[in-house]
Structure 1
Amino acid sequence: MEKVAIVILNWNGQQMLEKYLPSVLQYSRDEATVYVADNASTDDSIELLRTHYPQVELVLLDKNWGFAEGYNKALSQIDAEYYLLLNSDIEVTHHWLTPLIEYMDAHQDTAACQPKLLSIFDKDRFEYAGASGGFLDKYGYPFCRGRIFETVEADNGQYDDVADILWATGAALMIRSKDFWEVKGFDGRFFAHNEEIDMCWRLRIKGRRIVCIPDSYVYHVGGGTLPKGNPMKTYLNFRNNLTMLYKCLPDEQLNHVMRWRWFLDYLAAWQTLLMNRNFGDFKAIYRARKAFKAWKKDFKADRREIQKWRRVEKIPEQKDFSLLWQYYAKGRKLFSALPQ
């Protein structure tokens, strides 16, 4: 068994691999084996790797399985103590792996961790996808140390402490292989978006810790596959977020939260249409609500099993407040300003 396997999931990402894979090889080769798992790309990704990067191990999948199931299928073929899932649009830094490995080795109660995620375009600012670790509010809205909705903070060292979080970003996620498979990996039905939050939440329900380790930091492009404002991204985010809530919320919260989400989701749809003139996202939210209603029954067994796993009744990283109320009504746009 290897110690660390860095696994980059690729689909038609030749340009990203050309630009950012060299930093991964330069700063990781002494501590990990680098894999590229390819979701049946139709560009020249595989030719690039075979010609210029023969030291990279290839896992070739038979079709585009998406992020969630693509990783499930690829990781099932890799024997390592730690998987490090890494987006192809990540630039890593010198000594980035060591703090992650050392922390995981020293803290057996920790299932997964992430480095600090900074923007490749403004290296003194957090990056939207994970910043310095993720949380959820009471209605399932994700936010991070360093990012709430559209407000992304400058990194002034204010979140440089190791912190327990609810979810670690899938852009750069280190996880024990044992923990990954004990919760059955990602939910492949999600295809993409919210799958890492869903998996990390299941780990927290089992009493396992998720942490951010800011001594390690990387730079992320972000939005490379489905850019912000894409209706498909909106659809997947809403559908998968509702499904995650249905699976993971405790019985005493489920009905209350789902009633509020019905109201808040349709409010978001109409706000998108009337204020932003965005008919694509308006339709995407309605489609997502309809899709969730149609496939909800398929997750009843998942919900029963997950609730049986419960070792933590109250997860501190799932906050009791409404993020919408804090952000829009009270004007609290920084993580440090939220109720602690």
Structure 2
Amino acid sequence: MSQVAIVILNYNGKQYLEKFLPSVLAHSSGHEVWVADNASTDGSPDWLRTRHPEVHLLPLATNQGYAGGYNYALRSIRADYYVLLNSDVEVTPGWIEPVIAHLETDEQVAVCQPKIRAYHLPTHFEYAGAAGGYMDYLGYPFCRGRLFDTLEADQGQYDDIADVFWATGACLFVRAGAFHEVKGFDARFFAHMEEIDLCWRLLNQGYRITYCGFSTVYHVGGGTLHKSNPRKTFLNYRNNLIMLYKNLPSGRRWKTILMRLVLDGTSSVRFMATGAWPDVWAIVRAHFAFYGMVPELSKELKRSTYRAPLYYRSVVWEYFVNKKHLFPELPQLYRKGFPKAPKS
């Protein structure tokens, strides 16, 4: 088997390392395990040196977030494949082999993710990735097994291998050569949606992004920033706009951004209704931060004739208006060559 490096990015996650690192070590025999530490202050590095000297520790001087942290770490690690693994993930026996075997069937497969189940609700898929991610034409991500906050029970409906639009950063298998070819993550994202941006750029280069349902891991989720954290709201909204601007064809770029301005305003109203004013302000700041970055982003735009396979309906409309709460219920209106939703 090709050389595989399992790389866990840690930031003040000692409690997760104590809980989940043993399962990684137990079920990853023959593979290097690294922990890249994002300047933690909770004693994580010292604990690792004392309790798990077999783990390669790569300390960073400052917290560079998910994107910058992994970029820094992976420049120093030599392997054919990287497995980017969140510290709050429990792996299972045989979790590596099916994914690597799939990656080795086709050099154009750059990224693959396993099945992601919820650690605290193990019968169901987990929010961040589920059974592989998709993106609608307005930039809203969704998954097989998860639409917005509706999680499907895993009944074997996604026990397959499928092409998807994006794979989750919670457990991301990536071909090292492809990762470095596109210069890794965009460090400006810091955290959130950087893996979707990476997958989109890889698609634009002609690579495939896939899901392998014959490997399963369990994800806690929200280990670094809680779901309701305004900082997370800011990063999600700002990074989504950056991603759309960078990757959409020129003819759709500003039309989509303007539509998102309206939709994000609507989202703010929903936050107002619940009294979540810090989140409202986070959305406003996210838009102004993005607009301030436009001159810089414009200099980096590259002409491309390839159009990544977006879902050409609004998943927001389908979910909230048409009450399509499960992935198989979505109308099957994908671009030619993109996998259709499974029949219910």
Match of residue 150 from structure 1:
149
Give the aligned residue type for 2:126: E
Aligned residue for 1:224?
223
- What residue is the counterpart of 1:303 in the other structure? 301
Deviations 1:258-295 (A, max 9, x none): 1211111111112210x211101111100101111111
The whole-number CA distance in structure 2 between the counterparts of 1:145 and 1:245 is: 21
Between the aligned partners of 1:88 and 1:118, the Cα distance in structure 2 is: 15
**Pairwise CA RMSD of aligned residues?**
1.2
Distance (whole Å) between structure 2 residues aligned to residue 73 and residue 112 of structure 1: 19
Q: 5 Å matches for 1:218-257?
A: 218-257=217-256
Describe the SS at the equivalent of 2:258. helix
In the alignment, what sits opposite 1:331? 323
Output the TM-score relative to the length of structure 2: 0.95
Query: For 1:216 and 1:323, how far apart are their aligned partners in 2?
Result: 27
Shift of 1:174: 0.5
SS at match of 2:80: strand
The amino acid that maps onto 2:19 is K
- The alignment partner of 1:28 has SS state of coil
Residue of structure 1 equivalent to 2:27 = 27
Provide the C-alpha distance between the structure 2 equivalents of 1:153 and 1:112, rounded to a whole number of angstroms. Answer: 24
Shift of residue 302, structure 1, vs aligned partner: 2.5
Offset of 1:254 from its aligned partner? Answer: 1.2
Residue in 1 aligned with 2:17? 17
The corresponding residue for 2:260 is 261
2:205 paired residue number? 206
Shift of 1:195: 0.3
Paired position in structure 2 for 1:279: 277
Rounded Cα–Cα distance in structure 2 between residues aligned with 1:303 and 1:17: 39
The secondary structure found in structure 2 opposite 1:113 is strand
Q: Distance in 2 between matches of 1:54 and 1:29?
A: 15
Deviations 1:219-249 (A, max 9, x none): 0000010001110000000000000000000
Counterpart of 1:321 (choices 310, 313, 320) is 313
How far apart are residue 298 of structure 1 and its match?
1.3
Percent identity, aligned pairs only, is: 51
| Structure 2 counterpart of 1:191 | 190
1:5 matched to 2:15? The reply is no
Q: CA deviation at 1:29?
A: 2.0
CA distance in 1, matches of 2:207, 2:299: 22
Deviation at 1:84, TM superposition (A): 0.5
Q: Measure the CA separation in 2 of the matches of 1:84 and 1:18.
A: 19
Question: What residue is the counterpart of 2:97 in the other structure?
Answer: 98
- The one-letter code sitting in structure 2 at the alignment partner of 1:246 is Y
Tell me which amino acid in the other structure corresponds to 1:293: Y
Q: Which has the higher helix share?
A: 1
Q: Deviations over 1:166-192 (max 9, x none)?
A: 110000001011100111100001110
Match of 2:49 in 1: 50
Aligned to 2:133: 134
Partner of 1:174: 173
2: CA distance, partners of 1:153 / 1:323: 16
TM-score for the superposition, normalised by structure 1 = 0.96
Q: How far has the Cα of 1:303 moved from its partner?
A: 2.0
Q: Distance in 1 between matches of 2:57 and 2:29?
A: 15
| 1:45-97: CA deviation from partner (whole Å, max 9, x where unpaired) | 11111111111011111111111000000000001110100000000000000
Q: Deviations over 1:85-111 (max 9, x none)?
A: 000000000000000110111111100
TM-aligned CA deviation for residue 252 of structure 1? 2.0
